[in-house]
Amino acid sequence: MATSDHFPSERAQRLLKMLVERYIADGQPVGSRALARLSGLELSPASIRNVMADLEELGFISSPHTSAGRVPTSRGYRFFVDTLLRVRPLDQIEISQLEGQLQPDNTQKLVSQASHLLSDLTRFAGVVMTPKRTTAAFRHIEFLSLSQKRILLIIVAPDGDVQNRIMLTDRAYNPSELVEAGNFLNQNFAGLTFDEIKGRITAELRQLREDMTHLMTMALEAGNEVMGQRAEDYVLSGGHNLLHVQDLSSNMVNLRKLFDLFEQKTSLLQLLDISSRAEGVQIFIGGESGLVPLDECSVVTAPYEVDGQVVGTVGVVGPTRMAYERVIPIVDITAKLLSSALSQH
């Protein structure tokens, strides 16, 4: 059955495809008699058993101790996804319905809604990495006096996100001076990055008093820092769905480790970051992620963009026994719709 490079024959591939699809559908180990009925091939159960033995030798299927049937391994799922799977794109009506659910007024809401959408449609955990800042630009700046020498710097990013930073100054500034400073930056430099402003501001600052120049310089440094260092994060929705997935909930120790992974964030963020550097949909099956808590899981991801530049990743975390032909197009279209919504911002 196997060729010299360990590639299953056409007949074996057909049987493997049926075995994986049947197992995904009902979660029960698949026996040779059931395959004989499903296959439409004129093969006896004995012949099918021989093919199954070859597939098992190749590491594509395994036999649980409690059953005479076979189940796919991570390697079997990988071959199925790469070679045998036919993904059905979503139809236009479904796409329009999804599009209608991604129309809020700021980036954070969009990210949250995309995460909920992935979770609701797949019944697994939806995860969306918050967009990386490609440039530390601002739309609006404001200075607010907190006390004599403490000023709150308020920065509104082009995507509507608001960041604050407290600045300690050498002297007290009155409200009209703070309004003047904010107006100066907004009228001359809104839409630019803080680095761009630094390169252009020298001449303009000569027109201002020295103490105002000091305030501006502090604001530029603080702004660059706060906008450039927005921590990488992700929004996860539907983690509780995994409690109802028998393949995962039957082992509570592993499930706890999975929820710890979600809570701790760093490792999953690294996986999402790797995914953002690849084109199109990426699928990590079982141990391929390199993260032990995900050994019984598959992660399906796709990068999303803002104005043509990749800024993050969307994904679904579920059991290895998932309907890949359904999950893959959902992840793919969600990434595309999120890209479109963010680029219109």
Give the whole-angstrom CA distance, residue 43 versus residue 33: 10
Residues 241, 335 within the same domain: yes
As a dihedral over the C-alpha atoms of residue 291, residue 292, residue 296, residue 302, rounded to 10 degrees, the angle is: -10
In a domain, 2, yes or no: no
pLDDT of 157-208, one tens digit each? Answer: 877 778 888 888 888 899 998 998 899 889 988 888 777 787 777 666 666 6
User: DSSP H helical segments within the chain, as ranges?
Assistant: 10-26, 32-39, 45-57, 74-79, 92-100, 107-122, 175-189, 194-205, 210-228, 246-249, 252-264, 266-276, 324-343
**Pair 129, 269: CB distance under 8 Å:** yes
The whole-number average pLDDT for the span 220-246 is 82
Residue that is last in its domain, among 228, 248, 271: 228
Give the whole-angstrom CA distance, residue 159 versus residue 30: 51
Q: Report helix, strand or coil for 155.
A: strand
CATH, residue 266 = 3.30.450.40
Residue that is last in its domain, among 194, 212, 228: 228
In a domain, 99, yes or no: yes
pLDDT of 267-276, one tens digit each? Answer: 999 899 889 8
Distances (CA, A) of 337 to 103, 137, 184, 309: 10, 24, 37, 15
Residue that is last in its domain, among 228, 262, 280: 228
Residues 100, 239 within the same domain: yes
Residues 173, 192 within the same domain: yes
Residues 323, 250 within the same domain: yes
Q: Give the bridge partners for 297, in sequence order.
A: 319
Residues 59, 111 within the same domain: no
Q: Indicate the pLDDT class of residue 4, thresholds 50, 70 and 90.
A: very low
Q: What count of residues does the chain have?
A: 345
Residue 70 has pLDDT above 90, yes or no: yes
Residues 120, 156 within the same domain: no
Query: How many domains does the structure of the chain reveal?
Result: 3
Residues 190, 46 within the same domain: no
Residues 114, 242 within the same domain: yes
Q: Indicate the pLDDT class of residue 277, thresholds 50, 70 and 90.
A: confident
Residues 243, 307 within the same domain: yes
In a domain, 180, yes or no: yes
Distance of CA 48 to the CA centre of its chain: 40
Domain that holds residue 144: 140-228
* 23 Rama sector, left if φ>0, alpha if ψ -120 to 50, beta otherwise: alpha
Residues 178, 236 within the same domain: no
Residues 96, 179 within the same domain: no
In a domain, 150, yes or no: yes
CATH, residue 53 = 1.10.10.10
- Percent of residues, the chain, with pLDDT higher than 70: 90
In a domain, 296, yes or no: yes
The pLDDT, as a whole number, for residue 42 is: 75
Q: Indicate the pLDDT class of residue 3, thresholds 50, 70 and 90.
A: very low
Q: Indicate the pLDDT class of residue 282, thresholds 50, 70 and 90.
A: very high
Residues 215, 160 within the same domain: yes
- Which strand (E) or helix (H) includes residue 150? strand 150-156
